[in-house]
Amino acid sequence: MTKIHRIWNISSGLLILLAALLFFLDPDGGLRVATSFLSLTFMCRGVGSLFYYLTMTRHMVGGRTVLYRGMIYLDLWLFTSSLIDHYDLYLMIYLAGINAFTGLVEVLRSREEKSVGSPGWKYRAAYGGASLLIAVAVIVGCTRLHSIRLVVYVYAAGLVYKSFVRIASAFRRTAIVFVQ
């Protein structure tokens, strides 16, 4: 990991931590802010993926995958931004679905890393498990307890955990492979 990438991980982790603290301070307006934050994230990732496709991966193997990923992110951005004004049951289920999908992907990636013998599979498994727990807590808080505040608190707690993981990954040593 380069120094710029480390600085980016630390600064983005601190920004995520700041957003989580704001959610704890204002839980009533937090769901609207969380939706805006999610929408902005999808837009940045979509534009970044399309820019990466246009500048680098257009003629590479797997380049179309980057193009499709960028298009999906932009579609998710449009869908999320249309839900900002209607934050109710649909938005909470959507938030739970995003966290459940992320958690499932991370758990499957950790299983693949474990089979290869990578020592970092534990961090990925913990991250995926936390995302799955956030999804379950959001669904329970939404359907059983009918509490928007609880959902915002759970989402903020998940952001705190994810920011700590991002900051810790910046300080973790990266393996360097030498070819003899």
Q: Please tell me whether the overall predicted TM-score, pTM, comes out greater than 0.75 for this model.
A: no
47-76 residue pLDDT tens: 999 999 999 888 888 888 889 999 999 998
How confident is residue 117, by pLDDT bands cut at 50, 70 and 90?
confident
Give mean pLDDT, residues 114-120: 84
Stretch (H or E) spanning 96: helix 89-116
Least confident range from 44-58, 79-93, 118-132: namely 79-93
Predicted local confidence at residue 58, as pLDDT: 83
Residue 81, pLDDT score = 83
Domain ranges in the chain? 3-40+85-169
DSSP states along 103-155: HHHHHHHHHHHHHHT-TTHHHHHHHHHHHHHHHHHHHHHHHTS--HHHHHHHH
